[in-house]
Structure 1
Amino acid sequence: MTGWIRIMGMQFQARHGALPYEQERPQPFAVDIEVETDFSRAVESDQVGDTVDYGRLYAVAARVMAGPPVRLLEALAGRMAGEVLALDGVERVVVRIRKQAPPLPGPVAYSEVEVSRHA
């Protein structure tokens, strides 16, 4: 039995972007991580060790966001997806990263990239 685990709207201040000032000052980002995994053992056992640990998903997001600055959200999301996919039990991952104050000529709610990878 497969299912999805979603951690949505994680909030981070980080220094990523193509413009020099974006890598000098922290900016607001939001991250969503969705993983497809086999729920069979967890459904029967009701044990955290038999599923993907939500805390580990958050830890990956926090580590990647706090890591060395990158210019492109695509690179950031790809790095995060690769680390999540390496976790035990993850069969597929979808990562969305939103830059909540993108440097555009007019007001926008956010810019976003989405990356998906599978085992």
Structure 2
Amino acid sequence: MRDRITLRGLRARGHHGVFDFERREGQDFVVDAVLYLDTAPAAASDDVEDTVHYGLLADRLVAIVTGDPVDLIETLAERLAAECMSESIVEGVELTVHKPSAPIEHEFADVSVTVTRGRRGSW
């Protein structure tokens, strides 16, 4: 069984999208990240160095959302997942990017893309 660290509802303003007005005006994006890892070493040591510091991870994810614009939220999700996987103790990640203000002419609750990534041999 895999342990999880979950960060849900991380909100940041980015300038992603295929339309000029999305790039110009920006909009909020919401990120959910579920990291799969063994938390037993951190539980035994009670040391944040033995786990993923979710506060620092949140800072890095926000920097990606607020950073260089991309056309697709698929690309944004891939970049965010790669950042999560840069933590050597993370075996896998399920990463969702929500675009609550997507330019859709109909009433909708949510648009999101979810990617799942893992290490070979352990995922």
- Report the TM range for the smaller structure's normalisation: over 0.9
1:79 equivalent in structure 2: 79
The one-letter amino acid of 1:82's match is A
Tell me the residue number matched to 1:13.
Answer: 13
| SS in structure 2 at match of 1:80 | helix
Structure 1: unaligned runs, 5 residues or longer: none
Matches of 2:9 and 2:115 in 1, distance apart? 16
Supply the distance in 2 between the matched residues of 1:43 and 1:79 (Cα, whole angstroms).
Answer: 29
Local SS of the residue matching 1:24: helix
- Per the alignment, residue 68 of structure 2 pairs with 68
User: Structure 1 runs of 4+ off > 2 angstroms?
Assistant: none
**Residues 61 and 83 of structure 2 are in contact (CA less than 8 Å); yes or no, is this contact kept in structure 1?**
no
Size of the aligned set, in residue pairs, is 119
TM-score after normalising by structure 1 = 0.94
2:77, 2:95 within 8 Å by CA — same for their partners in 1? yes
TM-score normalised over the length of structure 2 = 0.91
Q: Which of the two has greater strand per residue?
A: 1
- Structure 2 residue runs of 5 or longer lacking an equivalent are none
Q: Matches of 1:99 and 1:39 in 2, distance apart?
A: 31
Q: Give identity over the alignment, percent.
A: 34
Counterpart CA distance in 2 for 1:17 and 1:75 is: 10
1:118 alignment counterpart: 118
For the Cα contact (< 8 Å) 1:33–1:57, is it kept in 2? no
TM-aligned CA deviation for residue 42 of structure 1: 1.1
